[in-house]
Amino acid sequence: MLDKIKQAVLAGEMEGIAELTNQALAQGIGAREILDQALTPAMDIVGEEYEKGDRYVPEMLISAETMKGAVTVLKLLLVEAGVKARGKVVIGTVEGDLHDIGKDLVAMMMEGAGFEVVNLGAEVTAEQFVKAAKEHEPDILGMSALLTTTMIHMPGVISALKDAGLRDQIKVMIGGAPVTQGYANKIGADGYAPDAASATKLAKSLV
């Protein structure tokens, strides 16, 4: 059953995943087991295949959505069982930038990896990032930018976090097509990732 669930995530079988997950639970397989032995390993494979170029973005999205379908079924049970989220992430696309596909993919992969994710959407101002940081107290704040004209808002968000006295408690990670590791170093971010799979790995290493 666990292998069936794993294969369903790999194949992106969104339609049947909720039923399959419920069947596994009915057979006495624990929510934690399903998460650790089927869903997470499947998403690890998806990430590795994407990194190697064996899987394309739409396939990764479909697998991520499939995993979300299973996680939705398990969520309540996992909370009840006291399975702590790996950490909390507040994520958004920066001010003036409405590209959100890549950011949503990162958010989904992180959720799949066990993070609690607060997705602020696109065109998020520094003030909105800080407000969300105060409200949700995340371990990580993630910023995405797809335009050379909007990535310049990233240092402003970091300054605003500093001004609000929050910078020491929150790791900042950034990404998006024009963003680089060099830029992350320059603006004092804690990390940069080039794609959703490595963003998830980075988030794990930051918490």
| Site for ligand B1M, rule CB under 6 A | 57, 91, 96-103, 105-106, 142-144, 146-149, 173-178, 193, 195-196, 199
Alpha-carbon torsion (85, 87, 88, 91), positive or negative: negative
The two three-digit tokens of residue 104, written as one number:
């949503």
Q: Which is nearer to ligand B1M, 35 or 141 (CB)?
A: 141
To the nearest whole angstrom, how small is the minimum distance from the Cβ of residue 102 to ligand B1M? 2
Alpha-carbon gap, residue 193 to 17, rounded angstroms: 29
Side-by-side strand order, sheet with 191-192: 116-119, 88-93, 140-144, 171-175, 191-192
Residue 29, helix vs strand vs coil: coil
Alpha-carbon torsion (25, 27, 30, 36), positive or negative: negative
To the nearest whole angstrom, how small is the minimum distance from the Cβ of residue 150 to ligand B1M? 7
To the nearest whole angstrom, how small is the minimum distance from the Cβ of residue 81 to ligand B1M? 29
Contact yes or no for 93/124 (Cβ under 8 A)? yes
Q: Residue with CB nearest ligand B1M?
A: 102
Instruction: For residue 96, give every residue at least 6 positions away whose Cβ sits within 8 Å of its Cβ, in sequence order, or none.
Output: 123, 147, 149, 150, 153
Q: Which is nearer to ligand B1M, 69 or 102 (CB)?
A: 102
Q: Which is nearer to ligand B1M, 21 or 150 (CB)?
A: 150
Q: Which is nearer to ligand B1M, 24 or 183 (CB)?
A: 183
To the nearest whole angstrom, how small is the minimum distance from the Cβ of residue 97 to ligand B1M? 4
To the nearest whole angstrom, how small is the minimum distance from the Cβ of residue 96 to ligand B1M? 6
Q: Which is nearer to ligand B1M, 24 or 64 (CB)?
A: 64
